[in-house]
Structure 1
Amino acid sequence: MDFPQIAKQLIEKLGGKENISGVAHCSTRLRLVLNDDSKANKEAIEQIEGVKGQFAVAGQYQIIFGAGTVNKVHAAMTEILGLGDMTKSDIANLSAEKQNFLQRLVKGLADIFVPIIPAIVAGGLLMGLANVFTAQGLFIDGKSLIDAYPNLSDLAAMINTFANAPFVYLPILLAFSASRKFGGNPFLGAALGMLMVHPDLLNGWGFSAASLSGNIPYWDILGFHIEKVGYQGSVLPVLAATWILAKLENTFRKVIPSVLDNLLTPLLALFITGILTFTFVGPITHKLGFLIGDGLTWLYDTTGFIGGAIFGALYAPIVITGMHQTFIAIETQLLADMAHTGGTFIFPIAAMSNVAQGAACLGVMFLIKDAKVRGIALPSGISALLGITEPAMFGVNLKYRYPFIAAMIGSGVSSAFIAFFNAKAQALGAAGLPGIISIKPDSIAVYCIGMLISFVVTFSITLLLGMRAKRKAN
């Protein structure tokens, strides 16, 4: 490939240098911020060598090249444009100026939760490993591994401790990440997170039992009873408290003389936020968080396969809008309160949708004889089966429409199946074939059958719709 030539063609078809205000790349896509998206010649861009697809989302114009190619195209473009190195964060901040309130909200949640996903994934997968030792009948009829081999009990207990750590101290991770997003000092945010899980407080997971027995500890201050309750595994209280902390910190830095700034600003910001957290903000948002989690779990359990079918069919269109980023916050809450919720139902449905996108893409490869299309469809389809759907969705399925429709149907059918059997995940991860390690042990068989249904139904419908489209064209 002649990468400088590809870069020149791209710049020309994107409306020229003056229309490009930023460019960066991820593992497969070139991410650009254009001053005017309408100046991009989509048809001409599709014909440029190496281009596997394109789409505009959240203020960014993204062009799919694939791993190993995109970085070379990016290097050639930045040299011509003279923009220098820009990160994905730089592009995200630049594109935020073009976003509406809802898009900015989604981006904000993603910016907070995406950095902590590795910790949540590690904790969830370790929890799955711990469950292998304790699950009854998984390997031995009527017994768990530690029942059959008691010498493994300490190993299981140690793994369980490792697994629980990210969820017990989730407020610290969240507060650190959220403070950075809200413009505050992330270490001051971490201190607030530590305050919310201090060992002197009643463990947040023991609140319900203490409430029923009437044994909730409290501080008696000036006649006010302030509950001494921790916020282990909480999401909304931490986000709300951290936002207040960041606003107070920035306000104090503006009004307090610089000579006293480092002394008084953190003191006042943390003290006032702490008071507000335990008196008003924490109790209210804690209850709200439980209501959201309980509401979603109730909706999933009550609507059963119908709700699963609707969510599964609509998951891919939600991904196109970028709204799926908000699911990270919801899933984190569901996983943090797993003893109550049983895990997250969103992850398995996302996997059904991703497998369907992969199956549709592979169906296109069988139908269309064009070498370029087949060259894009095969790796994109495999990538989607492994959990990365952008090349398949934007490079093939949406382009021809009928594969995308087939994928929605296949995802809906398979999601109805797994919802009927109440399949849930105990961790986040790659939503596709590798996602099996994130699924609860008692849901693994249902998950695997669901993926098979998703693939077969989608692939078959893609072939049927594709042959019908060919007949109409002829």
Structure 2
Amino acid sequence: MDYKQSAEELVTLLGGRDNIISATHCATRLRLVLDDESRINKKEIEDLEGVKGAFSSSGQFQIIFGTGTVNKVFQPLAEEIGMGEESGNDKQQKMDHNEAVKKKMNPVSRFAKVLSNIFVPIIPAIVAAGMLMGLLNLMNRFGWADSDSSLYILLDMFSSAAFIILPILIGYSAAREFGGNTYLGAVVGGIMTHPTLLNPWGLQESGVQPETLQFAGMNIELLGYQGTVIPVLLTVYVMCWLEKLFRTFVPNMIDLLVTPFLTIMSTGFIALMAVGPLGRLLGEGVTSSLMFLYDTGAGFAGLVFGGLYSLIVLTGVHHSFHAIEAEILGQVGFNYLLPIWAVANVAQGGAGLAVWVKTRSKKMKEIAGPSSFAAFLGITEPVIFGVNLRYRRPFIGAAAGGAVGGAYVTITNVTANGIGVTGLPMFAIANDPVNYAIGLLITVGSAFTVTWLLGWQEEETQSEKEETESQQSSTDKAV
């Protein structure tokens, strides 16, 4: 594959250099912000060598090349459109690209993007804690260690730490996204988890009631926010707004001393007196509503959420679910939404597998096989946009498989100890691996069968058409 030639052809098919506002790439895709997407020749882009699919989502036009290939295409593309890829400019380029993406999004997608930027960096910490919780569950189930043993006590400390300091992690990440000082954001999270405040974990079992303080004619309940999400998000947003406000009138020569002092003091009072309690009520309302739906109609809830999840993925709003899952995990101790998302993702792989087996297109076989396997690992964009959505009916088959699998994992009460990991990797944090495995098999089988029965209209790429015509011509001459 000639990567430089591919980059040159891409620029032309994307409407020219002047139509490309910004470009970056992730592990598998080019991510482009374009001035006018109507100038794109999407069909010819998908026919290019190495391209596994192309789609527009969340303010970006994304082209799937796959791991390794995308890096080699991006470098000549960046040179072609005048972007340097020097390491010193890389961070600024990504910041500029993110700003360009936000301007192209609608308000709902922009909100989802903000939540995604806040929670995605925190996911490794929660996944590690979830895997440790899974290990503790196995130790309990099979009697590998006594709950009073040193090993068990230490692992219990390691597994709970991420959730105890979750507001600090969120405070740091949220302040960075909201444009405030990240360390002040972490301090705000620390205030909301201070040892003076009673840890709400296990509050009902212990029967201990938090103390109250009288201040300015108000009762301040000394109850902490360990494991919560919404309260700290709202508080850090207020903190960033106050920090910017103070900087407008504090002289530069004393800014370093006065602005942080005013910001932390005012935010601390606001957090404990107003924003924190309000955020706690909102978080409990969201958690209670979802829990009620899950408890009273688990099979139906899984059926609906599992069937609709892939449609939500198309809008990009699914990124905001990390915040909801983290809130649920902190409040009830397990995540009952993640298994539904997991089977919905695997269903896309099942539908793609049916396409891979049945299709006559050589290029589609090259795309469908690897992208279906990626879906089994939780990476669904290649198979959704490169295969299933292109033919439409396989996408319907995947939705059917996700609905059936979602119903099964909710009826059997499969839950997870973390967020952000789906597909086969979710075995590491699943509380019931056996029923989760059965749910995956049911999902893949249902998606594969429905897709096979529905069928689809085959498309030939330009190169395949030319090859077919050449073979026909040779046959005619021989006759």
Which segment drifts farther, 125-134 or 170-179?
125-134
Q: Distance in 2 between matches of 1:200 and 1:436?
A: 38
Does 2:178 correspond to 1:182? Answer: yes
Q: Is 1:146 aligned to 2:145, yes or no?
A: yes
Q: Could you tell me whether the CA contact under 8 Å between 1:26 and 1:88 is conserved in 2? A: no
Paired-residue identity, %: 45
Written as runs of structure 1 = structure 2, the 5 A alignment for 1:138-287 is 139=142, 144-147=143-146, 153-205=149-201, 207-208=203-204, 215-287=209-281
Runs of at least 5 residues in structure 1 that lack an aligned partner in the other structure? none
Unmatched tracts of structure 2, length 5 or more:
459-479
CA contact (8 A) 1:354 1:432 kept: yes
- Within the alignment, does 1:294 sit opposite 2:288 as a pair? yes
| Partners of 1:224 and 1:455 in 2: CA distance | 57
Report how far residue 64 of structure 1 moved: 0.3
After superposition, the Cα gap between the structure-2 partners of 1:390 and 1:223, relative to the gap in structure 1 and judged at 3 Å, is closer
Distance 2:217 2:335 in 1: 42
Deviations 1:140-165 (A, max 9, x none): xxxx3335xx7x82211111100100
Residue 351 of structure 2: aligned partner: 360
Q: Is the Cα contact below 8 Å between 1:207 and 1:229 reproduced in 2?
A: no
Report the counterpart of residue 372 of structure 1 in structure 2: 363
1:15 corresponds to: 15
Q: SS of the counterpart of 1:93?
A: helix
SS in 1 for 2:113: helix
Q: 1:411 to 1:264 in 2, by over 3 A?
A: same
Equivalent pair of 1:175/1:238 in contact (CA under 8 Å): yes
How far apart are residue 89 of structure 1 and its match?
Answer: 4.5
Give secondary structure in 1 for the equivalent of 2:414.
coil
Matching of residue 416 in structure 1 with residue 407 in structure 2: yes
- Distance across 1 between alignment mates of 2:43 and 2:73: 19
> Are residues 1:406 and 2:412 paired?
no
Corresponding residue of 1:116:
122
SS at the partner of 2:248?
Answer: helix
- For 1:103, the equivalent position in structure 2 comes to 109
Q: Deviations over 1:22-77 (max 9, x none)?
A: 11111100000100011101111111111110111111000001111111110110
In the aligned structure 2, how far is the partner of 1:430 from the partner of 1:275?
37
The one-letter code of the counterpart of 1:120 is I
CA distance in 1, matches of 2:202, 2:252: 44
Tell me which stretches of 4 or more aligned residues in structure 1 moved more than 6 Å: none
Post-superposition Cα deviations, 1:296-342, rounded to whole Å, max 9, x if no partner, equal: 11111212211110110001111111011011001111111234xxx
Whole-Å separation in 2 of the counterparts to 1:206 and 1:262: 40
Which residue number corresponds to residue 465 of structure 2? none
Pairing 1:127–2:123 present: no
Q: Does 2:451 correspond to 1:462?
A: yes
CA RMSD, 1 decimal? 1.7
1:336-351 counterparts in 2 under 5 A? 336-339=330-333, 343-351=334-342
User: Does the aligned pair in 2 maintain the 1:31–1:91 contact within 8 Å?
Assistant: no
Match of 1:325 in 2: 319
- Alpha-carbon distance in 1 for matches of 2:210, 2:330: 22
Determine if contact 2:168/2:187 at 8 Å carries over to the other structure.
Answer: yes
What residue number does 1:39 align with? 39
Partner of residue 417, structure 2:
426
Deviations 1:113-170 (A, max 9, x none): 11111111111111111111123xxx3xxxx3335xx7x8221111110010010000
Greater shift after overlay, 71-80 or 223-232?
223-232
What TM-score do the two structures reach when normalised by structure 1?
A: 0.92
Assess if the C-alpha contact under 8 Å between 1:331 and 1:344 holds in 2: yes
Distance (Å, rounded) in 2 between the aligned partners of 1:24 and 1:222: 52
Q: How many Å apart are 1:209 and its aligned residue?
A: 6.2
AA matched with 1:30? L
The amino acid across from 1:127 in the alignment is M
For 2:52 and 2:262, how far apart are their aligned partners in 1? 54
Aligned partners of 2:145 and 2:13: how far apart in 1?
Answer: 64
